[in-house]
Amino acid sequence: MIHDKADLASYLNNPIECSCGRMHLAGIEVVEISEGALNKVAPYVKERAYKKPFVIADCNTYEIAGKEVLKKLGEEGLEVSSYVFADPHLSPDECALGTLLMNYDPSCDVILAVGSGTINDLARFFSFQLDMPYFIVATAPSMDGYASSVAPLLKNNLKTTFECHVPKAIIADLDILAAAPREMIAAGFGDVLGKYTCLADWQLSAIINDEYYCPEVASLTRHSLEKTIGLSSGIARGEKKAIGELMETLVLSGIAISFVGNSRPASGSEHHLAHFWEMQLLWGGREHVLHGTSVGMGTALVLQMYEMLLQADLDPTTFQTIGAPALDGWRSEIERVFLDGAAEVLALEEVAGKNDPEKHQARLASISENWDTIREVLASVPTPARARELLEEVHAPFAAAQVGIEPRLVHEALVYAKEIRARYTILQLLWDLNLLQDFADRIVPDAVN
First-to-last C-alpha distance (Å) of the chain: 53
Return the number of the residue (18 or 97) whose C-beta is nearest Zn ion. Answer: 18
Is the separation of the CB atoms in 56 and 112 below 8 Å? Answer: yes
Element (H, E) at 411: helix 407-416
- Rounded to a whole number of angstroms, the minimum distance from the CB of residue 216 to Zn ion is 5
Distant-in-sequence, close-in-space partners of 374: CB < 8 Å, separation ≥ 6: 204, 207, 208, 367, 429
Least distance to Zn ion, CB of residue 235, Å: 17
- Report the run of H or E that residue 160 belongs to, with start and end: strand 158-163
| Interior angle at CA 130, CA 125 and CA 133, nearest 5 | 75
Task: Pick the closer one to Zn ion by CB: 191 or 278.
Answer: 191
* Nearer residue to Zn ion within complex by CB, 296 or 382: 296
- Taking the complex as a whole, the smallest distance from the CB of residue 91 to Zn ion amounts, in Å, to 17
Closer by beta carbon to Zn ion, 69 or else 290:
290
Q: By the criterion CB under 5 A, which residues form the site for Zn ion?
A: 18, 20, 191, 214, 216
Q: How many residues are listed for the chain in this entry?
A: 449
Spatial separation of the C-alpha atoms in residues 216 and 75, rounded to whole Å: 44
CB of residue 214 vs Zn ion: minimum separation in angstroms? 3
Query: Nearer to Zn ion by C-beta: 23 or 347?
Result: 23
Shortest spacing between CB 76 and Zn ion, in angstroms = 35
CA 378 to chain centre: 22
Q: 365: which residues sit within 8 A by CB, 6+ positions away? A: 319, 320
Q: Is the Cβ of residue 8 or residue 18 nearer to Zn ion in the bound state? A: 18
Say how many C-beta atoms besides its own lie within 10 A of residue 282's C-beta: 18
Smaller CB separation from Zn ion, 183 or 191: 191
Which element (helix H / strand E) includes 435?
Answer: none
151 SS3 class: strand
Task: Kindly state the smallest distance separating residue 26's Cβ from Zn ion, in Å.
Answer: 13
Q: Give SS3 for 181.
A: coil
CB 382 within 8 A of CB 272: no
Min dist CB 217 to Zn ion, Å, is: 5
| Residue 115: CB minimum distance to Zn ion, A | 16
Q: For residues 72 and 195, which CB has a smaller minimum distance to Zn ion in the complex?
A: 195
Least gap, CB of 275 to Zn ion (angstroms): 9
Taking CA atoms, 35 is separated from 171, 244, 245, in Å, by 11, 9, 13
Strands 169-173 and 81-85: unpaired
Cβ partners under 8 Å of residue 415, min gap 6: 436, 437, 440
Given the complex with Zn ion, which of 18 and 158 has the nearer CB atom? 18
